[in-house]
Amino acid sequence: MSHVLEISGLVKTFGGLTATDYVSLTVDTGEIHALIGPNGAGKSTLINQICGEIIPNAGHIHLAGRDVTRLPPAERVALGLGRTFQITSLLDDMTVRQNLGLAIQAREGGNFRILDRASRRAEVWDEVAEILRSGTLGARADVRVADLAHGEKKQLELAMALSQRPRLLLLDEPMAGLGHVESQQMIEALQAARGECAMLLVEHDMEAVFALADRISVLVYGRVIAAGSADDIRANPAVREAYLGEEDA
């Protein structure tokens, strides 16, 4: 199985603080790999290095076989890196359908002029219609984003991220702020998207992690202390000690 993401010996320090301590991990084609850890474990710092927002002091990051350790974020996106955020970044005054249309035309590298050609415009809206048919937002297609429930906004953000056809999708706490029913809907959406791209899931909801992850890496004080299947992680005494009975947050 090929690695979509390969991190080797990554180190990041801020003054005397080592936020990333020789981290190595891989995400394979079609895999959902969860990254968990207590508050202050260094998850955000690691994700920001993968995205290119922070440059490591040592180590390497390979995306789809290319060394991207020092590439700017835009070049990583062009190579197939996608991301969703804890706080959604949608256009509130536009409808669900319009947000999806914008996402798709952005993938093509143009602005609204790309929609001036009737044939291209039809292709974009046909793709939007297919996304709406296959997801949970079909009945909400012409509702303004500002009027959506929080869980619906999360579903839309995921659909927009997947519309970019990324090789690797970084999921930054997709369950944050969701109720039980909404969390189950998000789990189902991610299960349905399995195989469209590889995913690195940062999440505090352990029910979701255990339901979704093919592999789990546990980060504590900037270091991966355990990695393996859900059963491996559940049984690992070092993980239980690190959490002290608390879930990742």
pLDDT band with cut points at 50, 70 and 90 for residue 114: very low
99, pLDDT greater than 90? yes
Whether residue 63 contacts residue 80, with contact meaning beta carbons closer than 8 Å, is answered with yes
pLDDT band with cut points at 50, 70 and 90 for residue 248: very low
68, pLDDT greater than 50? yes
DSSP H or E run through 125: helix 118-134
Q: How far, in Å, are 60, 131, 193 from residue 188 at the CA level?
A: 34, 15, 9
Q: Which CATH number fits domain 1-80+166-249: 3.30.420.40, 1.10.645.10, 3.30.1330.90, 3.40.50.300?
A: 3.40.50.300
pLDDT at residue 69, rounded to an integer: 97
Whether residue 223 contacts residue 40, with contact meaning beta carbons closer than 8 Å, is answered with no
pLDDT at residue 121, rounded to an integer: 75
Query: Distance between CA atoms of 87 and 40, rounded to whole angstroms?
Result: 19
Q: What is the pLDDT of residues 176-196, one digit of tens each?
A: 999 999 999 999 999 999 988
Query: Distance between CA atoms of 133 and 139, rounded to whole angstroms?
Result: 9
Is residue 71 helix, strand or coil? coil
Spatial CA neighbour of 45 closest among 18, 76, 69, 19:
19
Instruction: Work out the average pLDDT over 24-49.
Output: 94
Work out the widest C-alpha separation in the chain, in whole angstroms: 61
pLDDT at residue 249, rounded to an integer: 38
Whether residue 171 contacts residue 213, with contact meaning beta carbons closer than 8 Å, is answered with no
Q: In the Cβ-directed half-sphere of 33, how many Cα atoms lie within 13 Å?
A: 24
87, pLDDT greater than 80? no
For the chain, what are the domain ranges? 1-80+166-249, 90-164
